Structure 1
Amino acid sequence: MTSEAGHQPAVPSVCPRHPDREAYVRCQRCGRPACPECQRPAPVGIQCVDCVREAARTSPQARTIFGGRATDGRPLVTYTIIGMCALAYLGQLASSEVTSRFAFAPYLGWTEPWRFVTAAFLHSPSTYLHILFNMFALWTLGQYLEPMLGRARFAALYLISGIGGQVGVTLLAGSPTLAGIAAGQDRAWFTAVVGASGAIFGLFGALLVLNRHLGRSSAAMYATIAINAVFGFLYPGISWQAHLGGFVTGIICALVIVLFRRQGVRHLVWIALGLVLGLLVVVTVGKYLTVPPEIRNLTVFR
């Protein structure tokens, strides 16, 4: 006869992530012990935090129709840009130094190139209508475009278009000479510009391209763009050059996004957008190299 041995109580395992804690439950995926803090509900049983993290990393990401990461629909980048513009505007009202240090003028672009970016977040401190109109347009366009493109692509579109607006101002400012400056000419080279209009016109241009690709009508947008373009020519103090530069840049960026929207090539979109930005830099440097060094290297205009 054989005698039955007494049953020994089960000894709890130790959580590999917290060696000082006992774990009575094992992960349904990897089989390792998991303490209560490291347990995550699963369709069957629980999984450990490591397996949940690995599953999230390897599972395919939901994508927008143009290859960006799908979001919950909230245009967070749009809201962030509006917030940045509002804070910058308050800074402009508090001190005129904010405008003078960060506004863009072609004669400052060579020595202070960051102004190509910062000017797109400033607005005329003499009238609140400037920032109100621009932010309303950005809010309207952003709610449509950002969920369609994904946040990263939308942010890149805005920034590159904003830079394109300042590039347009530079290319269309003429070719200043020392004699022209002495005669009181070539004022466009020394005229400061601020505003998100260049970037917003880039969003307009992108919207036309993306809607056409999707087979959607942009009839109402044509009228809006035409009215804003006419204002740039009829009213003093509005830079139609920035509008044009941003509009063309936005169209090019949108074409790039459409071209590289598919799964096998979507990662190349960032290289392509980088090339668009590089082209803007090359064109701008070429323009500055045609300007006399005495003018190109100015930091103050008196």
Structure 2
Amino acid sequence: MSDNPTSGQPPLEGVPQPAAGPSVCPRHPDREAYVRCQRCGRPACPECQRPAAVGIQCVDCVREAARTTPSAKTVFGGRATSGAPVVTYSIIAICVVAYLIQRVDPTVTARFSFVPALGWTEPWRFLTAAFLHSPDTIFHILLNMFALWSLGQYLEPMLGRARFAALYLISGIGGQVAVMLLAGSPTLAGLNSGRDISWLTPVVGASGAIFGLFGALLVLNRHLGRSSAAMYATIAINAAFGFIYPGIAWQAHLGGLVTGAACAAIIVAFRHQGVRQRVWLALGGVLAVLVAVVVVKYLALPDVIRMISSKDFGLR
């Protein structure tokens, strides 16, 4: 016979009572659940349980908390990340794989390099050229990838992955746009005589995008009050190579530098809470300006020059 003084009495209000039996997990009705979520109180089977700071939460509450909790931001409004600079390493990997493919199949360089004469009929070349390098020497890709690795480790955590990727891609396109603009206004007679040979010269390399990172670094360091004295010397040395050694597209360096600096200025201007999401509209505006410049340039050329395509080079 029990001597419990509460035996036969109704349960006291506010005092937790032992469960009469296992409940059923709402996500898996065929499974019994002996644990309840500390946040919503619903039963959760072992598969739906997630450890929390106190007790266990269900997967739905964990997902909702992740969605509603503000993510940490970098000083320039990007999503803060930890660990390796993923975008930098990914771009390096793409460039290395592309270089190996170029060595195996020489036609890849001709099909995806930037040629001003092909910019209207094959506009993707404005972007693809930024991932290719000269297959005749390994030093071209080694120097560019070392510069990208060095700059990326500094800039990507500062900007956030998305902003860094946008900076690289827009700067790469800006470099090719400068190559097109500074190639002059060709004529049919000039192309036939070789006077306008720059309009037919292919350009490859990540240099335009990398100079965009240089330009961005100067702008960002100035905003942060950091010295860029060493960077000025590095830019000057790299720029000098474009004039000393033949075959280097200094025009892409210049275009990338200007475009990267413009993108960085926009990122700085839209870094504050409340306006930081507008940075994408502003960066899209930079890209729109580049596209408009390209369209105006090509529409000013005779149709016979504007409509040159790969088949005229024997690539199809």
TM-score by length of 1: 0.96
Match of 1:223 among 213, 224, 233: 233
Q: Which residue of 2 aligns with 1:200?
A: 210
SS of the counterpart of 1:245?
A: helix
Aligned length: 300
Q: How far off is 1:301 after superposition?
A: 4.1
Three-state SS of the structure 2 residue aligned to 1:202 is helix
Aligned to 1:71: 81
Q: Which residue of 1 aligns with 2:117?
A: 107
- SS of the residue corresponding to residue 255 of structure 1 reads helix
Are 1:238 and 2:211 matched, yes or no?
A: no
Q: What residue is the counterpart of 1:142 in the other structure?
A: 152
Structure-1 residue corresponding to 2:65: 55
Residue matched to 1:121:
131
Structure-1 residue corresponding to 2:15: none
Aligned to 1:44: 54
Provide the residue aligned with 2:187 in structure 1: 177
Of the three residues 257, 275, 281, the one matched with 2:285 is 275
Matched position secondary structure for 2:194: coil
Q: What displacement does 1:28 show? A: 1.1
Q: Within 2, Cα distance between the matches of 1:62 and 1:88?
A: 35
CA deviations on 1:117-151 (whole Å, 9 max, x unpaired) are 00000000111000000000000000000000000
Where does structure 2 lack aligned partners over 5 or more consecutive residues? 1-6, 12-17
**C-alpha RMSD of matched pairs (Å):** 1.6
Aligned counterpart, 1:131:
141
Is the contact between residue 103 and residue 192 of structure 1 (CA under 8 Å) also seen in structure 2? yes
2:14 aligns to what? none
Equivalent in 263, 267, 275 of residue 257 of structure 1: 267
State the match for 1:187 in structure 2: 197
CA deviation after TM superposition for structure 1 residue 278, in Å: 0.5
CA contact 1:68–1:152 (8 Å) conserved in 2: yes
Q: Which residue of 2 aligns with 1:27?
A: 37
Q: CA offset at residue 9 of structure 1?
A: 7.5
Residue type of the alignment partner of 1:238: I
Deviations 1:16-40 (A, max 9, x none): 0110111111111111111111111
1:136 alignment partner, SS class: helix
**Structure 1 residue runs without a partner (length 5+):** none
TM-score, normalised with respect to structure 2: 0.92
Bigger radius of gyration among the two: 2
Cα distance per residue 1:65-99 (max 9 Å; x no partner): 01110001411100000000000000000011110
Q: CA deviation at 1:41?
A: 1.6
2:4 aligned residue: none
Give secondary structure in 1 for the equivalent of 2:278: helix
Identity across the alignment (%): 76
Matched, 1:153 2:188: no
Preserved CA contact (<8 Å) 1:204 1:250: yes
